[in-house]
Amino acid sequence: MGVVTSDKLFPKAAPHAIKSVELEGNGGPGTLVKINFAEGLPFQYVKHKVEGQDQENLSYSYSLIEGGPLGGKLEKISFENKLVAAAAVEGTLVKSSSFSPLMILLSLKMKLRNKFKEYMEFTRLLKLTSWLTPCCN
């Protein structure tokens, strides 16, 4: 129900930031949600694709597929949100996680860099030991 009503709710909740919301779909997986921002903000709009909803477990997942922070450098940023009871504050918390292909690539790049450093250290040690080891003819 949240996605279906977002076109009316978001502009009322944040009129200084959100100009309008356009929906393409029935609110379920595959629905596209375009949020148009007010003048003067860093981005004109963002477009989300609903990936999944689980009302029983109070979770919602979507991907940012266009506009906003993507800037032509990222294919998408995926988000997963889950509402959980928070007894300490007598309310509800939203647990959110996100990932993007770029983050995965950066992680792989760091792992490769570390492996390369290990390899270079190994070859350096190999060269040192070859100088120290007498050669037999």
User: Could you tell me the residue ranges of all domains in the chain?
Assistant: 2-99
What is the C-alpha separation between 49 and 27, in angstroms, rounded?
10
Q: What's the pTM value of the predicted model, to 2 decimals?
A: 0.64
Answer for the pair 67, 47: CB distance below 8 angstroms, yes or no.
Answer: yes
What is the C-alpha separation between 57 and 81, in angstroms, rounded?
11
Assign domain 2-99 one CATH number from 3.40.50.2300, 3.30.530.20, 3.40.50.920, 3.40.50.720: 3.30.530.20
* Token pair recorded at residue 61: 């997942």
Residue-wise pLDDT for 52-107, tens only, equals 988 888 888 999 899 887 766 677 888 898 888 877 777 888 788 877 776 656 66
pLDDT score of 1: 47
List C-alpha distances in Å: 104 to 59, 60, 64, 107, 124.
23, 22, 16, 5, 30
* Token pair recorded at residue 86: 């928070």
What is the C-alpha separation between 103 and 47, in angstroms, rounded?
20
pLDDT category, 24, cuts 50, 70, 90?
A: very high
- Could you tell me which residue, 3 or 43, shows the higher pLDDT? 43
Amino acid at 7: D
Residue 31 has pLDDT above 50, yes or no: yes
Task: Give the CB-side neighbour count of residue 6, counting CA atoms within 13 A.
Answer: 21
Amino acid at 79: F
End-to-end CA distance of the chain: 82
